A and B are shown apart, each in its own frame.
Chain A
Amino acid sequence: MRVEFKDIHKYYGRVRANVGIDMTLEPGRIYGLLGENGAGKSTLMRMLAGHTEPTRGRIFFDGKSPQGFNPSLALAMGVGMLYQDPLDFPALKVWENFRLGGKKRDRKQVLKRLQELGDRFHFRLAPEEKVGELTVGERQQLELLRLLDLGVKVLILDEPTTGISVRQKEMLFSTMRQLAKDRGRTIVFVTHKLAEVEELCEEVIVLRRGKLTAKLPAPFRPDELIKLMFGSEQKGTEADQRRHHPAEKNFIQLESVQLLGEKYTLEDISLGIRPGEILGLAGLEGNGQELLLRGLAGLARVMKGRLIFDGQELQGRPYLTFRRSGIHFLPAARLEHGLFPDLSLNEHFHLAFPPQNGGGHKLLPEEGLKTFSIQAKLSTSARALSGGNQQRLLLALIPRKIRLLLLEHPTRGLDHGSGQQVWSHLLERCRQNTALLFSSADLEEIKDHSHRVLIFYNRQLVADRPTSLMSVEEMGRLMAGEGRAV
């Protein structure tokens, strides 16, 4: 289907989300949509998917511009969107959710279809499991399968590669290519990752401050794209790459630890962590890294083995003991699990920093906003913050004296600039001897920042090696269960 945007403007009050967008999307092509957070990508795509109407201008589908365009009409016309936060039904079972909006089928047919599609992408989804119990990545997979089943003609993917393995990504990409070439589907791929655009897209659309700055065919020059996105060339992360050396002695020791999660157990983990050390956790979602982070935070039960922190055995102790020992955990779903949506920033600061144990380290809320460049007022509610500001707020709320930081996807959904800010803060903390464990779906991020990489496959720790001895390709292979760790 051919999609034409004709002079699209979208204003929210005085905020100009999109200004005069003119472009045509041809069938059978894969487009990359690039832009910083707040550049207007989501607004543009939300209009395409019928969630909101343009203030001015029209969108034409094969020359037609339907009246009263809305999401169900969009879907009926073949426009489907895979959201970063999947629109699904936590109370339903996987197969029930999959059936929604699709053809009339009985349970058996649904299971068969789900199996077929799942096999094609190597997505392992248990049909009887509740959607609410899936991880974010698994829910994205489910939603993707559902859209493909509905036979959408224009597929919008909002950062779809978050939370899936390199192998799965390759399969997803080849499917995208197949859908575009053989079936004439139009694919719009919204992303922050230049490498993925280079790998997959035939054409790139760059937005900056609501305006279309470029629409270029492949091959792309990354430095040129960065310039188009940000206005001026930005230095790479190499600048703050002078990696510091962690201390010599382990202060955390895991001895044959078995962790009990909500859905699975992680067996026989032995591991030492040194002060100031940065460990990157790579693995498909649901393969163990989430559980290790939660276990170290005191949020998952240690069934066997010993977890020693500064000579003290912490297994079996409550979460607050872990917290008081200086362990801090930040979950991937920031607003859902990490913040209080309707409380103000000021209230968040008050909750995080009790006045009685300020101990000379009392961080004034105003200072917090400035230090972490959170672009909001103290009276703003957390719900109203952008993803980047939410993550900066969470960082600002970390107590000063922390020994071990545990982060899930520290830069997921953030633009390049915000991501760099997050990392410069984290590295500063690590230089002051805080150890950091983080999980990420972005292997480059792990390669760039960690001293050691831990790789999880099939709910086991399959490799624990210095990052310098491992290439991104090798990480990908291990994550996908190919090859053996030495």
Chain B
Amino acid sequence: MNLNIDAIKSITYDAIVVGSGVSGGYAAKELTEKGMRTLVLDRGKQMEHITGYEPSYKDPWDFKYNGLLTQEQKASHPKLSRDYPYNEMTEKYWMNDSDSLYKEEKRFDWFRPNIVGGKSIMWGRQTYRLSDLDFEANLKDGIAVDWPIRYADIAPWYSYVEKHVGISGEALGLPHLPDSEFLKPMDMYCVEKEVRKRIEKNFPGRHMTIGRVANLSEAKQAQLGIGRSACQYRNKCRLGCPYGAYFSTQSCTLPPAAKTGLLTLRPDSLVSEIIYDAQKQRAKGVRVIDTVTHEVKEYYAKVIFVCGSTVSTTALLLNSKSNRFQNGFGNDSGELGHNLMDHHFKIGASGTWEGDEDKYYIGRRANGIYIPRYRNIGNDKRDYLRGFGYQGSGSRQGWNRGIGDLSFGPDYKDSMTRPGPWSMALSGFGETLPYHENKMYLDPNTKDKWGLPVVVFDAEFKENERKMRKDIMNDAGEMLEAAGLKNVKAYDNGSYPGMAIHEMGTARMGRDPKTSVLNGHNQVHACKNVFVTDGAAMTSTSCVNPSLTYMALTARAADFAVKEIKKKNL
């Protein structure tokens, strides 16, 4: 009967993209622009650009608790409420803990968005290129496996995405932190300008620059043409930007994808399984659970991009079992779920700055400063591998500075209405090594409300990270003291995997199918029409914020996939 053929046609696409965050959105843009009818599936609720960012339109007095969590929210979100991303203002952007069950053999803070666009709405927007210092690291150190690509392979793709995304920053010409295609850099506070001079003078080889950030310090035609405009310096990015002034799926990748007329986006669509066709030895499509009705549907395509965010991506692969893949999709190596990584952070120093009382600022810069990695570079050799960078910021203390003081009344009130002293803080982000034993797996005996096995985490920071943290803390204090800050305090607030929300690895790229899940094109070694281009693909973490690399890898893989389809190799 024709009916069946039509029915299959209507659920058959050229490409399926699982997830609509940084990577999934980029895959959708690239695939549709190359003429592919593309279905994007996201488990989250629809989040309309501009009108969906309701909290971003509110004034402080519109919030009941000025952002604090209630006891009720803490009780319903015991894990998510462990840290700042979940608060009164972002309540509807994240999943309920009860919908997001997971187990911890060791503590892991898993932040799962519940919206189309995923974490591209709430991300920190810091954007840095990896370099050959990173791509060659595993090989040189003789650990884990070698990256199957080098900087030269990805450099043109960094440039390609950066011109579209719009990255504000300053060119430094450092080989180990390659420059992006920059929009003009944001300004520094007076204290930052002076601290920069003094750090660079006192510590040759160290640099301080303004953060490289996916916010439009100026809007060029590439951005204006898709309805974006320049940053208004409200610093409400994490609530969604009605100006489209930072990179998100909604502002940056969905509009051009939609413009092709080839995009279908389905929210509330939880992908439970990749369907393997044993005869054709390729993936046939995906099985989807409607998160609201629990109805199960199937969709088919020539090529599947899995971009669900590291842990969800690998959970999907592990859950996709068949005779061919009895231990999870593409898991011939046994490495699927292993080498789970995140940056370690929450460590640094801060101090107060005497002077510049006659200086102030206008605007709220949603960006800080950055000190690129300088450890284990050139002749510097430490008792640990790899290195770290610092994010930081100067600031002038405001009306909340006197809360702990012994004061009240008219003098207290009036002094709070005048700006306080300046200060400066540095906060390190360190590379974590890929350890085979740091892993996630599925617990078949515990199911979530959609009947899917829950994820179990068993990962920890180890000796290399602990040794590095000593340097991060001491160096931060030393640099601030040398720069003339007073009352310098170093701190280590402790760091658990997951909390940096830079989770990476678990389906790593590599040269050898026996020891890795993906090849140098992010293609599953054992099933060529499935690509994984999110953090799961990372072979090592570098110490820089990873999202820009996901965009570049995704654009590169999409280009490769479409060429392979045209060559009839896929």
Q: Do A and B bind each other?
A: no
- Measured CB to CB, the residues of A under 8 A from B are none
- Measured CB to CB, the residues of B under 8 A from A are none
